[in-house]
Amino acid sequence: MTRTTHTYLDHAATTPMVSEAVAAMSAQLPRLGNASSLHASGRAARRVVEESRETIARALGARPSEIVFTAGGTEADNLAVKGLFWSRHAGDPRRRRVLASAVEHHAVLDAVSWLGSFAGAEVEWLPVDSLGRVDVEAARASIESDPESVALVTLMWVNNEVGTTQPVEELVALARPHGIPVHSDAVQAVGQLPVDFAFAGVDALTVSGHKVGGPVGVGALVVRRETDLVPLLHGGGQERDVRSGTLDVAAVAGFAAALDVAVASRDDLAHRLVELRGELVRQVLTAVPDAELNGDPGPDVSARLPGNAHFSFPGCEGDSLLLLLDARGIECSTGSACSAGVAEPSHVLIAMGRDQERARGSLRFSLGHTSTRADVDALGEAIGPVVERARSAGLVNASGGRF
């Protein structure tokens, strides 16, 4: 089938750059200067970096000195999880337990698993309920069973697959009396939900440029000044000796410009996305009545991400649905784009109690700043026939035929 339209419903994977970010990057790309150099060109580059750092700090409720630039969310997550563990464990070998939710993004999930396999960490996966929200009482019991042995707690701000917000502040309240640091991956939250580093009380917070209308390849770990981290990278000692490497001045400028716009327009965007998502859910469930909406149903933005709608379609394979929709010019996701192409059920849905068939037959539709009612209507028109075709193909294939 030839594409006649293009409908982008995968903003959680990456969202189009805003014009302000493009302009900020374009202004810096022709300019010469390493931000670590002491000559005039270097000082000019450093000025751009520090002004961008101030903008990002202001947007996130942090101090400029708490912003550590990275190459993106994955690096920031790894720096937080591994850096905190190594620092805490070196200070006291008893601190070897790492508590993480069972529904973390793979950037955290796999980093934590690596610590368990290669660094002597004792990993505990905190359970979630049927909506994908961490069980606070289970976390309390885990922490209070032996608080002196806990190296860190890591809990995402909002789930990237099903959109359910997490009780970050409640876990901070449990960990703080014992001096246990808490890290939160807020990559999906920033720009759609209020994220205030100081108010939340976390010790480390991950953000990424391309999720808020900035460029790919730049992000930040917000780290309290009194928090010790062992660096992943060694070299020039940039970024408080926490993250060595020559900074991409243009990308940093684009990131700052995009985040500034995203936070300023957040409330208006969230209100618009809540309405669009509500219509998307209505149209999908009208076309496919037995589809299952996953995650917190909302619409309260304190409970879920405004632009996320995640469904399971009984009798279907998510990959088949994705490709059939793609052939019609509609782009979405089977979950986390970082694990796309791997024929495994979503670990998030499994942790929520779904069986493997439902976990495999799921799609995530995520809206963003360029989304329109026309995008929702295009999906509403296509999803019924696509699900019917996927189910028919599945039945033919299961009976030994070809499709």
Tokens of 111: 């980093």
CA 233, CA 241: separation in Å to the nearest integer? 9
Sheet holding 362-366, edge to edge: 292-294, 308-312, 362-366
**Catalytic hit among 123, 338, 350, 393:** 338
CA 220, CA 211: separation in Å to the nearest integer? 12
CA 179, CA 94: separation in Å to the nearest integer? 14
Query: How many residues belong to the chain?
Result: 403
CA 211, CA 64: separation in Å to the nearest integer? 21
CA 254, CA 26: separation in Å to the nearest integer? 9
- Could you give the residue ranges of the DSSP H alpha helices within 288-355? 318-327, 347-351
CA 81, CA 168: separation in Å to the nearest integer? 16
Q: Is 332 a catalytic residue?
A: no
φ, ψ for residue 62 (rounded to 5)?
Answer: -130, 170
CA 198, CA 339: separation in Å to the nearest integer? 32
Catalytic residues: 338
